[in-house]
Chain A
Amino acid sequence: MVTRRDFIKCAGGAVAALGGVETALASTGPHLDPDRVGVLCDFTLCIGCRRCEFACAEEAGLPHGELRAYDDTGVFAATRRPDAESLTVINRYPALSADHKPLDVKVNCLHCEHPACVSACPVTALQKNALGPVTYDPWRCIGCRYCMVACPFQIPAYEYHDATAPRVMKCTLCQDRTLEQGRPPACVEICPQEALLYGSRASLLRVAKARIEAHPDRYVDHVYGETEAGGTSWLYLADRDFHQLDLPEVASTSPAEVTESIQHGIFKGFSGPLMLAALVGVILKSAGACEKCEAEAAARNEAGKEADHE
């Protein structure tokens, strides 16, 4: 029973290899520039004017009404999610008490430091630019929508009704403006309250922490995005726990770290497949090389058949 023992060894090896993967989670991820940009979004400063929604739609070439139409606060009746036609939305949450104001929460792609969508994309249509933005190239995209499965924030949307060239739709941090022209994203530029700050992520993180320190009564002591999903380019400040604002509680490591470790652990240098091929080769040789073995196998089989006949 050489073969069965070999098989068990092989399976055991596979278990050990996967166990090793879990314990030796090397921090992987894209190369990042120390001066990479981000946006600090202070919910307590936002007045829910929705000008960012307008500016975003205009910049992205998506359908939008006149700026006046965005004064309509009726949309706050329901909680909205970004979709293929609106890459950012504002949701309003009731005031904590009479002397507080309602909190307006801007929802869009957070531009993870180690994005699961980028790790998932089989053809690098989504990429993490070293300067911060998670960019999208529709020409490369095959439309598999694995990015949508992978995103822990459920952000990427899809143009399901386009039969010929549907795109994955999400905020790209105005990749043309920020990366090529050095200008801030459209939403930041239009914000009348400076609720949105654009700058280097490191400096924004310092600003955020300074604000919390200066006004501990105004803020919950948590910068959302500092560590969430391995850190994000967008950083949020709020007056209450973020899960009350429908921002998900996610691990402080990127979900991509585990899968990338599995992929690298098994396929680095084709070591896994080569070892398996060698093992199959050994079984092939040992089971077939000598006629004697085969004769024995035949005898064993006869015995097996007998046993099966009872």
Chain B
Amino acid sequence: MSNRHAVPFVTPGVGILMALAAAGLAVLAARLFWGLGAVTNLDNQYPWGLWIGVDVATGVALAAGGFTTAFVAHVMHRHQYEAIVRPALLTAMLGYTFAGLGVCVDLGRYYNIWHFFVPGLPNGNSALFEVGMCVCIYLTVLYIEFLPVVCERFRGRVKLPGALGNLDGFTEGLLRVVDRTMDRVITVFIVLGVVLSCAHQSSLGTLMVIAPTKLHPLWHSTVLPLQFLLSAFAVGLAMAIFESFLASRSLKRPYEVAVLAPLSRVLPFLLTVYFAAKVIDMANRGTYAHLAELTPQTLSWLAEVGIGVVLPAALLMTHRLRRSPGWLFAASAMIVGGVALNRLNVFVIGYKAPYADTAYVPSIPEILLTVGFISLLVLLYRAFVFIFPVLHEEGESHHA
């Protein structure tokens, strides 16, 4: 690894993550050899569980920072926020990659995933088809958006080993062409990324609209797609703030409060819009009556909205708390946790099939795979920021 950062790549924490990742990969192997039934608690009552709720739905929501930060910095031309665009882009790129992997692990016939692209097979009525298609295209867009970072890392420094050294000149030329082309077309991909993200973030909410008798009325609504989109706006920026603090701490860099605090000013506004979309719909449907029931679902709804939406919105309205690294980190963590809990509520906790006689509780291997994939994602993130110029350097400006 390069000496980009003042800390070594491997630390005790990294060692733990590696062990967790290895455990997750072992579960993956077991799932491939013995099937879903052997490693999961999924059954005919609960066809979707932890992997869809966390790896896929939550993963996609928390990766929303990729398009929200690009929108703020590049579409609205608030260039002072460019420092957080690249880390958010990296999170999105890895987050979507792992969401896609999560889907494939959960698919009974993962090897048929190419059927999405065979003319005549796709079903335009299916929200899942729309989500899958958008995610595939958006993942490609994210990889393309990351190309300038790769060019910046290697341009003028290409030194291939051994006989490949003859290709140094050619590779340099290639990087130059890619870099120049990307300079011209990056805007197109940024706009495309925003549109694709809005489309699939909302369609993830459409997924459960088709199950009105199964999803708890506290969550089931025909405006679920709008609520998913609005929460993605908020959690995208919150996640960018949250991960900036984590990266700074782990890599012993100063906190970027000067950039993060002004950005966080928009969060109370976004959270209020999201909150309004939830409570107005709730009032329309009269579903607030369920709040008096005191079931696990009710408590989960209250936690999601109280700790995940109302409290951080209130905290971030105060100038002093926005400038405090501790409070800003806490508030952004609450938003991240709140939206994660919302996705878990919609796909797992709030789901009850009409003939369900037992409750779904994820199996140990299911949890190990989810934790393992998250660990692997964090490890890859760390490797990327060690290799590539992702994190903002003082006195340096990124152009992509």
Contact = CB atoms under 8 A, between A and B. Distances in A.
Same complex origin of A and B: yes
Nearest to A167: B108
Interface string B301-325: 0000000000000000001101100
A121 B126 contact: yes
B109 A141 contact: yes
A165 B183 CA distance: 46
Given A18-B225, A301-B262, A149 B211 contact: yes
A162 B35 contact: yes
Interface in A160-209: 160-166
Nearest to B104: A142
A15 B229 CA distance: 11
A283 B75 contact: yes
B contact face: mostly helix, strand, loop, or mixed: helix
B121 A124 contact: yes
B143 interface: no
Given A140-B112, A145-B108, A305-B262, A15 B226 contact: yes
A259 B115 CA distance: 22
Contacts of B203: 263
Contacts of A165: 109
B210 A3 contact: no
B376 to A, nearest CB: 23
A125 to B, nearest CB: 8
Of residues B71, B124, B192, B211, which shows the largest number of chain A Cβ atoms within 10 Å of its Cβ?
B211
Interface in B63-105: 71, 74-78, 80, 103
Nearest to B103: A144
Interface string B203-231: 10011111111100000001101100110
Nearest to B132: A122
Interface stretch (A37-45, A69-77, A250-258): A250-258
A119 interface: yes
A122 B126 contact: yes
A contact face: mostly helix, strand, loop, or mixed: helix
B209 A259 contact: yes
B129 interface: yes
A18 B224 CA distance: 10
Given A18-B225, A22-B222, A81-B44, A149 B210 contact: yes
Interface stretch (A52-60, A218-226, A234-242, A273-281): A273-281
Contact of B47 (A118, A149, A152): A149
Nearest to B261: A308
A213 interface: no
Interface string B7-51: 000000000000000000000000111111110101111011000
Contacts of B353: 154
B198 interface: yes
15 contacts: A22-B222, A84-B44, A122-B126, A122-B129, A123-B122, A123-B129, A150-B210, A156-B44, A160-B37, A255-B211, A262-B206, A263-B126, A276-B199, A283-B75, A301-B78
Interface of A: 3, 11, 14-15, 18, 21-22, 28, 81, 83-84, 116, 118-124, 140-146, 148-150, 152-154, 156-166, 246, 248, 250-251, 255-256, 258-260, 262-264, 266-267, 272-273, 276-277, 280-281, 283-284, 287-288, 294, 297, 301, 304-305, 307-310
Given A163-B35, A276-B199, 20 more contacts: A11-B230, A15-B226, A81-B355, A124-B120, A141-B109, A142-B110, A142-B113, A142-B116, A143-B108, A144-B128, A152-B211, A154-B354, A154-B355, A158-B42, A161-B38, A162-B108, A262-B127, A284-B75, A297-B78, A310-B320
Interface of B: 31-38, 40, 42-45, 47-48, 71, 74-78, 80, 103, 106-110, 112-113, 115-116, 120-130, 132, 187, 191-192, 194-196, 198-199, 202-203, 206-214, 222-223, 225-226, 229-230, 258, 261-262, 265, 273, 277, 319-320, 322-323, 351, 353-355
